[in-house]
Amino acid sequence: MKGTILYSSMTGNTAKLAEELHKNLQAKGEWTLHNIKDGTIDLASSEVVLFGGWAEGGSFNKAALKCLESLDLKGKKLGLFMTMGSRTATEHGRMCAANLGKILENYDGIGHLYLTANPLQGQFYDLF
């Protein structure tokens, strides 16, 4: 499987998560990692795109949303991930999760997996 991990990071948390995803997904195929600040990304050979950003106003940060909307994702599976400064069980956390679900409705999503512990363990990698 060929995939691309794209991310937007302000404090470095989303970058760390994206790097960990990249490291662990290498066993599942050929994956590339890109910060959206680095410019245009060629997704032609990617079957799956994992796209991450940080929480701003209950959804992705503005730069991440703008980038996501500009991507040609026809024929590609899409997964979303987000970092935030609040707990997922708060009203803000639930709003972020709901808004990511709404965004994913517009794409060929890989499904939802809700994790309250370390998202880099367990069943997460079985999705690929």
In this structure, the number of other CB atoms found within 10 A of the CB of residue 16 comes to: 13
* pLDDT band for position 114 (cuts 50, 70, 90): very low
> In which domain, by residue range, is 26 found?
2-127
**What is the overall mean pLDDT for the chain?**
86
Examine the pLDDT at 19 and tell me if it is beyond 60: yes
* 103: Cα separation from own chain's centroid: 12
Q: What is the CATH number of the domain that holds 35?
A: 3.40.50.360
Structure confidence at residue 96 as a pLDDT band (50, 70, 90):
confident
Reported as a single tens digit per residue, the pLDDT across 49-94 is 999 999 898 889 999 999 999 999 999 999 999 888 777 778 888 8
- Tally of domains within the chain: 1
- Nearest-CA neighbor of 56 among 17, 78, 85, 34? 85
Phi-psi region of 38 (alpha: psi -120 to 50; beta: other; left: phi over 0): alpha
Amino acid found at 28:
K
